[in-house]
Amino acid sequence: MQRRHFLVSSAASAVALAAPGVRAQSAGKLTPVKFTLDFRVTGQTAPFFLAQQRGYYRDEGLDVSIDVGAGSVASITRIASGVYQMGLGDISSLIEFQAGNSPLVQAVYQYYNRAPFVIIGRKDRGITSDFASLQGKRIAAAAVESTRRAWPMVARKLRQGPDLFQWVTTDFSARDNVMVRGDVDGATYFHDSAVSLFARMNPEQLSVLRYTDAGVNLYGNAILASSALITQQPQVVAAFLRATNRAIVDTLADPLPAMAATKARETILDEKIELERWKLTAQYLAAPETGSIGLGDVRKLVLEQQMDQVVEVFGLKTRPSVEAVFNRSMLPAAAARRVAA
């Protein structure tokens, strides 16, 4: 299947030339952008709502609508289908998607510098901080979700079989319930998503097994854009990233206004719980690596290693190029992305 390759230099030039035009639209007609979250409205994605509330998108000439998602894998197909122009989705799943399709979707800003993938187990079922303690256990996970799909990479790193434990397929919404009731011994989570579980079970009763602790360094959910939008209107993507990055920096400095903006969108939320969720998110978003490369960017070698793991674990016939998966030409200026890790 024919693949298109986007030259960083030419795309960067197009952004530089066109960006003033997008900003000028803020005084007149705004450019609509449909953005899909990876999941529900929570503190994990608070910067997007802060950017919306503070008018950062409008300042860039954009009218951004933000919809809830159906999982970090589903975001890719939503964008590829043309229903959404941009969204938040798992970069490992994007690598897998591109191996069988032309690059209809690209990552343009790395939101989670490290994937917040964890398995949380009940200590009263014998699960400790050692992955070996999962032997023979029952672990709940949704049928298609990135933490579950990434497990074989951890198993290979630990030299364990992928069937170390038994998967119990559970809907996202039921995961906390089966954990609390003890129907399972553990469950997969985005670490920051587990705040809802911590509110119902004493964290001291739980063991958190981080994939990063197993030596598996994976980039997590990234901001994605359709290749059509990147090709035809790179200035729109650049404008969206400038506004979002501005809000991310603000939220890292003072998260309270972002939690209030998120609650304004989803009034049933508890701002204190969402603040605790964001504190976990921030650890993976502003990970140590961002101290040198800045928010939103990736190291080519690290991404190449991740791509090699995805290709090997999932038996992919082709390996997309790093440039096809991650297009960094529309990132905000490096100085704007510098924060303390």
pLDDT band per the 50, 70, 90 thresholds, residue 1: very low
* 243 touches 57 (CB < 8 A): yes
Main-chain dihedrals φ then ψ at residue 206, nearest 5 degrees: -125, 150
Q: Which residues, in sequence order, are bridge partners of residue 67?
A: 36
Least Cα distance to 86 among 234, 306, 263, 270 occurs for: 234
Q: What order of strands is seen across the sheet that includes strand 166-169?
A: 166-169, 138-141, 186-190, 117-122, 206-210
* 339 touches 21 (CB < 8 A): no
**Both tokens of residue 210?**
């981080």
Main-chain dihedrals φ then ψ at residue 160, nearest 5 degrees: -115, 155
The rounded mean pLDDT for the chain is 91
Q: Range with the lowest mean pLDDT among 23-37, 62-76, 233-247?
A: 23-37
Cα separation, 179 vs 161, in Å, equals 24
The DSSP code sequence of 279-297 is HHHHHHHT-TTHHHH-TB-
* 189 touches 142 (CB < 8 A): no
Domains observed in the chain: 8-112+220-337 (3.40.190.10), 117-214 (3.40.190.10)
The DSSP code sequence of 175-234 is HHHHHHHTSSSEEEEEGGGGHHHHTTS-GGGEEEEEGGGGT-----EEEEEEHHHHHH-H
Query: What mean pLDDT comes out for the span 35-45?
Result: 96
* 138 touches 166 (CB < 8 A): yes
pLDDT at 11: 37
* 316 touches 84 (CB < 8 A): no
Q: Is the pLDDT of residue 134 over 80?
A: yes
Percentage of the chain lying above the pLDDT 70 cut: 92
Q: Are strands 186-190 and 138-141 parallel, antiparallel or unpaired?
A: parallel
Query: What mean pLDDT comes out for the span 23-41?
Result: 82
pLDDT band per the 50, 70, 90 thresholds, residue 335: very high
pTM, two decimal places: 0.88
pLDDT band per the 50, 70, 90 thresholds, residue 143: confident
pLDDT at 73: 85
Q: Is the pLDDT of residue 334 over 60?
A: yes
* 190 touches 44 (CB < 8 A): yes
Q: Range with the lowest mean pLDDT among 10-19, 108-117, 125-134, 184-193?
A: 10-19
- In sequence order, which residues have a C-beta less than 8 Å from that of residue 201 and are 6 or more positions away? 179, 180
pLDDT band per the 50, 70, 90 thresholds, residue 2: very low
* 205 touches 70 (CB < 8 A): no
pLDDT at 24: 45
Query: What mean pLDDT comes out for the span 229-237?
Result: 98
| Cα dihedral 158, 161, 164, 166 sign | positive
Cα separation, 171 vs 332, in Å, equals 37
For 265-318, write each residue's pLDDT tens digit: 999 999 999 999 999 999 999 999 999 999 999 999 999 999 999 999 889 999
